[in-house]
A and B are shown apart, each in its own frame.
Chain A
Amino acid sequence: MLETIWFVLWGVLWAVYFMLDGFDLGLGTLMPLLARDDNDRRVIYNAMGPFWDGNEVWLITAGGVTFAAFPTTYAVMFSSLYSALLLILFALILRGVAFEYRGKVDSPGWRRMWDWCLWVGSFLPALLFGVAFANIFQGIPIDGQGVYHGSLFTLLNPYGLLGGILFLGLFCLHGALWLSVKSLGDLRQRAEVMAKRLWLPVVVIAVVFLIATAFATSLWDNYLSSPWLLVLPLLAVAGLLGMRFYMAKDAWWRAWGASCVGIVFCTLFGVGGLYPNLLPSSLDPRFSLTAFNSSSSPLTLKIMLGVALVMVPVVIIYQAVVYKFFSHRIEQKDLDYDEAY
Chain B
Amino acid sequence: MDVLMLSRLQFAAATFFHFLFVPLTLGLSVLIAIMETLYVKRGDEQYRRMARFWGKIFLINFAIGVVTGITLEFQFGTNWSRYSQYVGDIFGSLLAVEATVAFFLESTFIAVWAFGWDRMSAKAHMICIWLVAIASNVSAYWILSANAWMQHPVGYVMRNGRAELADFLAVITQKFAVLAFLHTVSAGYILAGFFVMGVSAWHLLRKQNREFFLKSFRLALVFALVFAIFEVVQGHLNGSEVAEAQPAKLAAMESHWETQKNAPIYLFSLPDEDYERNLVQIGPIPSALSLLAYHDPDAVVKGLKDFPKDERPPVFLTFLSFKVMVGLGFLFMALTVWGFLIRKRLEDNPLYLKIMLWSIPLPYLAIEFGWMLAEVGRQPWIVYGIMKTKDAVSPIAASQVGISLVAFLLVYGLLGLAAFFLIFKYARKGPDALPGGAAAGEEVAHA
A residues in contact (CB < 8 Å) with B: 49-51, 53-54, 56-57, 59-61, 63-69, 71-72, 74-79, 82-83, 85-86, 89-90, 92-94, 96-97, 99-101, 104-105, 145-148, 296-297, 299-300, 303-304, 307-308, 311-312, 315, 318-319, 322, 325-326, 337-340
**Which of B96, B162, B426, B434 has the largest number of chain A CB atoms within 10 A?**
B96
Which residues from 96 to 136 on chain B have a C-beta closer than 8 Å to any C-beta of chain A?
96-101, 103-105, 107-108, 110-112, 114-115, 117-119
Residues of A within 8 A of B97 (CB): 68, 304, 307
Interface-facing stretch out of B73-81, B222-230, B231-239, B383-391: B73-81
**Residue B435 lies at the interface, judged by CB distance under 8 Å to chain A:** yes
User: Given A315-B104, A337-B117, A339-B115, 8 more contacts at CB 8 Å?
Assistant: A50-B111, A54-B107, A57-B108, A82-B404, A96-B67, A315-B100, A325-B112, A339-B56
Interface band, chain B = 35 or more
Tell whether A64 pairs with B88 under 8 Å between CB atoms, given A89-B71, A104-B422, A299-B164.
no
Question: Which residues in window 361-418 of B have CB below 8 A to A?
Answer: 394-396, 400, 403-404, 407, 411, 415, 418
Q: B85 and A71: CB pair below 8 A?
A: yes
**Pair B434/A338 contact, Cβ less than 8 Å:** yes
Question: Is the C-beta of B66 less than 8 angstroms from some C-beta in chain A?
Answer: yes
Contact B70 A54 (CB under 8 A): no
21 A-B residue pairs with CB within 8 Å: A49-B111, A49-B115, A56-B70, A63-B73, A63-B77, A67-B73, A67-B91, A68-B97, A71-B89, A86-B71, A90-B411, A148-B396, A296-B93, A297-B89, A299-B166, A300-B90, A300-B165, A304-B93, A307-B97, A325-B112, A326-B115
| CB-defined contacts of B403 to chain A, threshold 8 Å | 83
Q: Which of A75, A105, A300 interacts with B81 by CB under 8 Å?
A: A75
Cβ of B152 < 8 Å from any Cβ of A?
Answer: no
Residues of B within 8 A of A54 (CB): 104, 107-108, 111
Contact between A308 and B100 (Cβ–Cβ < 8 Å)?
yes
How many angstroms between the C-alpha atoms of A79 and B98 in the bound complex? 22
Q: Does B63 contact A (CB under 8 A)?
A: yes
What is the CA–CA distance of A150 and B419 in the complex, to the nearest angstrom? 37
CB <8 Å contact, B96 and A96: no
Residue numbers in B under 8 Å from A299 (CB-CB) = 164-166, 168
Which single member of B70, B81, B88, B415 contacts A68 (CB below 8 Å)?
B88
Which one of A72, A312, A318 contacts B85 once the chains associate, using CB atoms below 8 Å?
A72
Determine whether B68 belongs to the interface, using a CB cutoff of 8 Å to chain A: yes
Do A57 and B165 have beta carbons less than 8 Å apart? no
> Could you tell me if A74 and B77 are in contact, using CB atoms closer than 8 angstroms?
yes
Q: Quick check: is B64 within 8 A (CB to CB) of the other chain?
A: yes
Q: Which residues of B contact A64 (CB under 8 A)?
A: 73, 92, 95-96, 98-100
Tell me the number of A-to-B contacts counted with CB atoms below 8 Å: 227
Q: Is B331 interfacial (CB 8 A cutoff)?
A: no
B396 adjacent to A82 (CB under 8 Å): yes
Q: Are B101 and A307 in contact (CB under 8 A)?
A: yes
Which residues from chain B contact A319 at a C-beta distance below 8 Å?
104, 108
Kindly list chain B residues whose C-beta atoms are within 8 Å of the C-beta of A61: 96, 99-100, 103-104
- Cβ distance A88 to chain B, nearest Cβ, rounded Å: 9
Q: Is the CB of B112 within 8 A of A60?
A: no
Cα separation A312 to B101 with both chains bound (whole Å): 9
Please state if B111 and A67 are interface contacts (CB–CB under 8 Å): no
Chain B residues in the interface with A (C-beta under 8 A): 52, 56, 59-60, 62-64, 66-71, 73-74, 76-79, 81-85, 87-93, 95-101, 103-105, 107-108, 110-112, 114-115, 117-119, 159-160, 162, 164-166, 168, 394-396, 400, 403-404, 407, 411, 415, 418-419, 422, 425-426, 434-435
Contact across chains for B73 and A97 when beta carbons are under 8 A apart: no
B386 CB, nearest partner CB in chain A, Å: 15
A77 close to B85 (CB less than 8 A): no
Q: How far is the CA of A200 from the CA of B88 in the complex (A)?
A: 44
Top-7 shortest CB links A-B: A71-B88, A78-B77, A67-B92, A64-B96, A75-B81, A100-B63, A68-B96
Q: A67-B95, A105-B425 are in contact. Are A97 and B88 (CB under 8 A)?
A: no
Minimal Cβ-Cβ distance residue in A for B156:
A297
Q: Which A residues touch B164, using CB under 8 A?
A: 296-297, 299-300
Partner of B101, one of A71, A83, A311: A311
Is there an interface contact between A307 and B100, defined as CB atoms closer than 8 Å? yes
Query: In the complex, which of the residues A66, A100, A147, A340 has the most CB atoms of chain B within 10 Å of its own CB atom?
Result: A100
How many Å lie between the Cα of A76 and that of B164 in the bound state? 19
Q: Using Cβ atoms and an 8 Å threshold, which residues of chain A touch B100?
A: 61, 64, 307-308, 311-312, 315
Cβ-closest chain A residue relative to B436: A338
Is B67 within 8 A of A339, CB to CB? no
- Nearest chain B CB to A5's CB is how many angstroms away? 15
Contact B68 A79 (CB under 8 A): no
Q: Bound complex: CA of A101 vs CA of B435, how far in Å? A: 19
Residues from chain B with a CB closer than 8 A to the CB of A57 are 99, 103-104, 107-108
In the assembly, what is the distance between CA of A100 and CA of B50, in Å? Answer: 20
Interface hub of B89, B97, B98, B99 (most chain A Cβ within 10 A) = B99
Interface centre among B67, B76, B107 (most CB of A within 10 A): B67
A101-B422, A297-B164, A337-B118 known; A86 vs B77 contact (CB < 8 Å): no
Output the least CB separation between B145 and chain A (Å). Answer: 14
Question: Which A residues touch B59, using CB under 8 A?
Answer: 100, 339
Q: Are B165 and A67 in contact (CB under 8 A)?
A: no
Residue in A closest to B415 when the chains form the complex, CB atoms? A97
What is the chain A residue whose CB lies nearest that of B167? A299
Closest to A96 in B: B67
Contact A296–B108 (Cβ < 8 Å): no
Determine the distance from Cα of A339 to Cα of B435 in the docked complex, in whole angstroms. 10
Most buried by A among B62, B88, B415: B88
Shortest CB–CB separation between residue A290 and chain B, in angstroms?
Answer: 15
Determine which of A56, A105, A145 lies in contact with B395 in the assembled complex, contact meaning CB atoms within 8 Å.
A145
B422 touches which of A65, A105, A145, A297 (Cβ 8 Å): A105
Residue in B66, B79, B164, B435 whose Cβ sees the most chain A Cβ within 10 Å: B66
- B111 CB contacts on chain A under 8 angstroms: 49-51, 53-54, 322
Cα distance, A260 to B164, chains bound together (Å): 38
Cβ B404 vs Cβ A296 within 8 A: no
A residues near B77, Cβ cutoff 8 Å: 63, 66-67, 74-75, 77-79, 85
